[in-house]
Amino acid sequence: MILDSTTITSKTGKEFRLVSIGPDNAGQFLDFMHQVSCDTHFMSRYGDEVKLDEAAIQAEKERQKTLQDSDIQGMFSIFDGNRIIGNIAVRQVCCHRKTAHRCSIGLGIRKEYHGLGLGSILMDYAINFAKEAGYKSMELGVLSDNIIAQGLYKKMGFTEWGRLPEAFILDDGTPIDEITMYRKL
């Protein structure tokens, strides 16, 4: 889905562009994912698993094209200049009729931009997009030790509905549960 870009304002009054991204942004997106995944264990991959070579960029272009070509899915990024500093993805959980009403989201902000209200802005944007797209519910998974993200999701109206024990095991052997959250749209 391609939406018109819009200007947003952070808590400190700084303005940023919010843009729906596509294949042309594949390199910028991987650079963003690489940093966020290096800076925290809260993402699904380690930073060294987010490759930045030509093959990875090509694969990411194809993934972005699929999302861009869909009327009910999208990737929405906040740019500071030419750099993606935050992103939210809205995807359909499954296209079959019984589950077509469910979407899921994935969210991240580069750490130097945390606490500026950008995560909340992206969540609001994704919720509005999902409602317009006709979804009836939004779901997500969050690591049990990611207290800030859980606080943000609760603020946005999500409730916890499940917990998968030891869904993640860090390289040092630490097991972490995944909390699953849901919001009616």
Ligand X SMILES: CC(C)(COP(=O)(O)OP(=O)(O)OC[C@H]1O[C@@H](n2cnc3c(N)ncnc32)[C@H](O)[C@@H]1OP(=O)(O)O)[C@@H](O)C(=O)NCCC(=O)NCCS
Instruction: Summarize as ranges the residues that interact with ligand X (CB under 6 A).
Output: 36, 40, 42-43, 107-109, 114-120, 142, 146-149, 151-152, 155
Nearest distance from residue 98's CB to ligand X, in Å? 26
Nearest distance from residue 71's CB to ligand X, in Å? 25
Q: Which is nearer to ligand X, 23 or 129 (CB)?
A: 129
Handedness of CA 138, 120, 46, 168 (dihedral sign): negative
Q: Which residue of this chain has its Cβ atom nearest to ligand X in the complex?
A: 151
Q: Which is nearer to ligand X, 2 or 169 (CB)?
A: 169
Q: Which is nearer to ligand X, 50 or 142 (CB)?
A: 142
User: What's the angle, vertex CA 23, arms to CA 66 and CA 31, rounded to 5?
Assistant: 120
Q: Which is nearer to ligand X, 8 or 152 (CB)?
A: 152
Nearest distance from residue 156's CB to ligand X, in Å? 8
